[in-house]
Amino acid sequence: MTDERTGSDQTPEAPGPNALGLAFGIIGDEWTLLILRAALNGARRYAEFGAAMPISHAVLTTRLDALVAEDVLRREVYQRNPVRSEYLLTAKGRGLWPVLTALWRWERRWTPEPTTTTPSMLHAACGREFTPDFCCSACAEPVTAQDIASSWGPAGGWRRSVPAVHTRRRSGSRRQQEYFYPATMAVFGNRWSSAIVGAAFMGLTRFNDFHDKLKVPPTLLAARLTSLCEHEILHQVVLPDRPDWSEYRLTAKGLDFFPVIGATASWAEHWYHEPAGDVLDWTHRSCGAAFTGVFRCDQCHQVLRGSDLLQHLG
């Protein structure tokens, strides 16, 4: 996926994050991802969320309140004396199943050893174990990042797409890493990491370009690039004719993160769409159609639905 206008971003940027910045600001947090996965697996009550992950009461309360404020969860009282509430997924929350499915797919492919957090998945419609294929909705062909041409849409722009800050983020603990593959948190657990990976998909490779476009502080940029290289999302390449000039390029593992980016972008455009238009203009090079991604079962090739998968996500 390359930006045809990387060198000269002329998009006027209004104040505040756009749909993509808002979406990654909400779900780009390790605890939030764990809560969402638990909710998609049927957790509703506070104790059920607490039992599903190694989380403190203060952090769980903060994250649940934030998801309610964003209408991803709905708080509903089920007992009056004392007052007790449960947290139900809204339509907006249920719409996140493709993002969790994309993460599951990526972790299954790239986790060094099988773990209990990435079990096999069955497709309820055909009854077979499967892996989801990320496909073009127009021609039904599987796509990779290299198959997509992209440019900023009317609501796009580098700075507006940097994830908004909703909660204080911390590096994943050893206990957390039992629940999500550490490389997932290397991308999602820090807003600058999410922005850098997104910018890499848009064609940026140089330290100065990341700094100039995203306005990330140099020290933080260096730390995030180092972390992404350590987790093999990016690799540093020294150019033969310019030994003083290195580039940061997506690895095969990093490129395979594209379905997660695509699923998140689709959810963001649907729920935070601006009257001005889309954040990103994507075109499938092969068929020439405006690109919208869908997941299909690699066994029966049917388009997947959340109701076919939710019971098997964790």
**What is the reported pLDDT for 108?**
87
- List the domains of the chain with CATH numbers: 2-16+96-312 (1.10.10.10)
Mean pLDDT of 210-237: 94
pTM greater than 0.95 (yes/no): no
**What is the reported pLDDT for 219?**
95
Any idea which residue has 């820090």 for tokens?
190
Lowest mean pLDDT, pick from 10-24, 122-136, 267-281: 10-24
Average pLDDT over the chain, rounded to whole?
A: 86
**What is the reported pLDDT for 82?**
87
* Interatomic CA distance for residues 68 and 84, integer angstroms: 15
* Interatomic CA distance for residues 306 and 309, integer angstroms: 5
Q: Dihedral through CA 212, CA 216, CA 220, CA 225, nearest 10?
A: -60
Instruction: Please tell me which residue, 81 or 62, carries the higher pLDDT value.
Output: 62
Structure tokens at 271: 């729920």
Lowest mean pLDDT, pick from 100-104, 105-109, 241-245, 286-290: 241-245
Any idea which residue has 């109701």 for tokens?
307
